[in-house]
Amino acid sequence: MATAKTTTLTFRIEPGLKEALRAAAAREHRSIANMVEVLIRDYCGRNDISIPEQDDLFDDSRKPVKRG
């Protein structure tokens, strides 16, 4: 099975939230990046927001599909 490609996301966050995120990740034995991914997936699942499959984000030539 091929590993899914990832993309970089950079954002600013309050120091207290960063520490809470670090603590949550440590408690779950996850990296901070993986903890953010889990939190986003959980939020989307609870709020009926679909997460597209990676293959759906590219056309047959592997070029990104432009979304409106």
**For residue 48, what pLDDT is reported?**
96
Instruction: Please give the model's pTM, rounded to 2 decimal places.
Output: 0.72
Asked if residue 26 is part of any domain, the answer here is yes
Domain encompassing residue 38: 15-49
DSSP state of 40: H
Assigned domain for 1 exists: no
Asked whether residue 5 is domain-assigned, the answer is no
Asked if residue 24 belongs to a domain, the reply is yes
| Domain-located, residue 67 | no
Q: Number of folded domains in the chain?
A: 1
Residue range 3-47, pLDDT digits in tens? 678 889 999 999 999 999 999 999 999 999 999 999 999 999 999
In a domain, 3, yes or no: no
Is position 20 within any domain?
A: yes
Residues 32 and 21 sit within 8 Å (Cβ to Cβ): yes
Reply yes or no on whether the pLDDT at 65 is more than 60: no
66 occurs within a structural domain: no
Summarised one tens digit per residue, pLDDT across range 36-53 is: 999 999 999 999 999 988
Half-sphere exposure of 51 (CA within 13 A, CB side): 11
The encoded tokens of residue 67 equal: 């979304």
Number of continuous H segments (helices) and E segments (strands) in the chain: 2, 0
